[in-house]
Structure formats: C-alpha cells, structure tokens
Amino acid sequence: MSRQTPDLLPAADLAGEPRRRLSRIWPGWGSAKRVPLLIIGSVLGALVVLAGLLAPWITPYPQDAGAVVHPAQTLLAPSAAHWFGTDMVGRDIFTRVIFGARVSLGIVVLVLVVSAVVGLTVGLAAGFFGGWLDSVLMRVTDVFLAFPALLLSVALAAVLSPSALHAAMAIAFTWWPWYARLARGQAASIRRQGYSDAARVLGASRTRQLVRHVLPNAATPVFVQMSLDAAGIILTAATLSYLGLGAQDPTPEWGLMVAQGQPLATTAWWVITFPGFAILLTAVAFNFVGDGLQTVFDPKRGLR
C-alpha cells in the first residue's frame, strides 16, 4: 500500500526494509505476496463447498451417508473401490467425508448468521443509544466473554439433548458477544462522525440514522471477523461432536467419525485419519481466507 507513495508514508516504507529481497527476483511479488494465501484458501474453500453441494452426485456410494450396514465390508483398507477405506459397519468413508462437508458448513452458516444478528443488534443498540442501555448490555456481554468459548458451548450442549442443531445453538450462544463488542465500538465511533451529525441535523429519524448510516459501517469489521471465525466454528463444532455432544450416528459428521474410529485407531488408521484431515483442510482454508481478507481490509489488526 505504501510502496507507490514512499514520500507520504516513510515510516511504513521503512518497516519494509528487509522484505525487498524477493521483489528483486520477481517484480510482481510486491503486489502478489499479500494474496497467495487468500487465493489458495478461496480455492480450497470453494472445493469444500462444492463437495458439500454436489455430494450425492460425486460420491460412489451415496446411501452410505445414512444408516446402512455392509457386514461383509467392515474396516477395509483404502483401495480403488473405497478410496478412504470403510468404517466399522462397512460404510464408504470417502462418501461420508464428502457428505460431512454439508453438516459442518451448515453448522458454520447457522452459527455465523445467528451470532451476527444477535451480536449486531446488541452492539448497535449499546453503541448507538449509549447511556444505561450501553452499560447493561456490555456488562452482560462481559459475562459471556468471561468463559472460555469452548467450555461454555460444552456446558450448554451437555444439558441439551445431543444433536447438530443443539451444538450449533450452543456455539452461537458463546459467539455473539464478540460481534456485539465489535459492533458497539464501531457504532459508538460512527455516532461521533461528521456525517452522523449531518444526518441528525437534516432531521433523519433515529431508525433512519441507525439503518442507513450506522449499520452499514459497523457491519464491515463484523463481516471480516466472521470470515476469521469460520475456522474456529468448524473446530468447535467438531470438538463437540467428538465429545458426543453434537451430531449423532448415522449423521456423517467429521468429529463424530474420528470419535467412532478412535478405539480402532492403531489397527485401522484410515477411519480417523481422513475425517480429521477434512476438518484440518477446511479450517486451514477458512483461516487462509480470513487472514487474506484481514490483510486487505485492515493490515494493522492482529489475531483477536
């Protein structure tokens, strides 16, 4: 960003002193170096989404995503017929891993939508109206943030009956305060901006100010944060399922598949390896995208 205008931003340029080596070899590196992870992450993420969407058509044994049993084919090692081998009841693991993308992505979308809506509402209300409402809402938010996120999800999921939906609800329950805090800070600072005053002076109603001016500007950092959080949600959901607090058999959920394969891990490595790798791959894809977007939108902010 500062490269083209070194005279205006000398300090930032100076920070770049040691990073010139590669740009001597390949001049395009300067602009491309910011995005390789964003590109790789987007491609990987798109592949996971496509795999989930097209699961019934691209898997060799779509019926294996459900409650079927093939007693003659249990725990077969990976082969041409079963690329990732078969599990303890003979289901094709490749099929179940691909279908698993649907469950995991579904949970991610649900958690993000619910917690963004709740978080934005609470945060905007607190930041825009201020006063006692702000104090009350932010103290409540502090209480939620006082728990390690996974722990609160686990406690809540444990008292609910185990299912993928309840796991998603339990995660959203712990996720919204981050967005509330972020949106509140934005809303409070926007309220003090000139264009906010202008809108008020021109007689815009409070609703109009909120919807037309505050919401769009407060939402951008929340969206960036959401892209960073997708990986965390994937991991949290997988952990809940691994603990038996999420999706239940026969749902092809990655964390659950690892838990089911754990007793056999030393003899049938493929049962846990491929679902776990799917979790890692998806989380890496989302983290690459989140990191890239963050570099593009806000290069100065670190990991939260």
Partner 1 sequence: MSRYVASRVAQAFGVVLGVIVLTFVIARLIPGDPAVAYAGPRASAEELAAVREQFGLDQPLWQQFVTYITGIVHGDLGISLHTKQPVTSDLIQVMPTTLVLVGIALVFAALIGIPLGLAAARSQGTLGDLAAKVISILMVSMPVFWLAILLQIVFFSRLGWLPVAGQYDTALDSTSPLYSVIGVPVVDALLTGNWPVFASAATHLVLPVIAIAAYPIGAVAMVTRGALLENLGDEHIRMVRALGFSELSVFGRFALRPALNPIVSLIALVFAYALTNSFIVESVFNWPGLGSYAVKAIQTLDIPAILGVTLVVALLYVLLNLIVDLVQAIIDPRVRA
Q: Is 85 left (phi over 0), alpha (psi -120 to 50) or beta?
A: left
Closest Cα to residue 76, out of 56, 92, 61? Answer: 92
SS3 2: coil
Give the nearer residue to partner 1 in terms of CB position, either 75 or 291: 291
Left (φ > 0), alpha (ψ -120 to 50) or beta: where does 75 sit?
left
Per CB under 8 A, the list member of 108, 122, 124, 149 interacting with partner 1 is 149
**What is the token pair recorded at 253?**
């959920």
Of these, 12, 47, 118, 199, which contacts partner 1 (CB under 8 A)? 12
Left if phi > 0, otherwise alpha if psi is -120 to 50, otherwise beta: which for 59?
beta
Q: How many other CB atoms are there within 10 angstroms of residue 99's CB atom? A: 21
Nearer to partner 1, 15 or 81 (CB): 15
Give the other-Cβ count within 10 Å of 82's Cβ: 22
Hey, which residues between 22 and 61 contact partner 1 (CB under 8 A)? Answer: 22-23, 29, 33, 36-37
Amino acid 152 reads L
- Terminal alpha carbon distance of the chain: 23
List 76, 124, 235, 293, residue binding partner 1 (CB under 8 A): 235
Least gap, CB of 59 to partner 1 (angstroms): 22
Cβ closest to partner 1, residue 134 vs residue 210:
134
Tell me which of 122, 169, 214, 245 binds partner 1, using CB under 8 A.
245
Cα 236 to Cα 230: distance, rounded to the nearest angstrom? 10
Instruction: Write out the binding residues for partner 1, residues 253-282 only, by CB under 8 A.
Output: 255, 258-259, 262, 265-266, 269, 272-273, 276, 279-280
Q: Which is nearer to partner 1, 124 or 235 (CB)?
A: 235
Contact 285, 48 (CB under 8 A): yes
Q: Cβ of 73: how many Cβ atoms within 10 Å? A: 17
Write the interaction track for partner 1 spanning residues 184-213; mark x where CB under 8 A is met and - where it is not. Answer: ------------------------------
Quick one: tokens of 64? 């294996």
Q: Which of 1, 69, 136, 160 binds partner 1 (CB under 8 A)?
A: 160
Closer residue to partner 1 (CB): 145 or 204: 145
Binder of partner 1 out of 118, 147, 217, 221 (CB under 8 A) = 147
Q: Could you list the residues that contact partner 1 (CB under 8 A)? A: 10-12, 14-16, 18-23, 29, 33, 36-37, 139-140, 142-144, 146-152, 154-156, 158-161, 231, 235, 238-239, 242-245, 255, 258-259, 262, 265-266, 269, 272-273, 276, 279-280, 283-284, 287-288, 291, 300-303
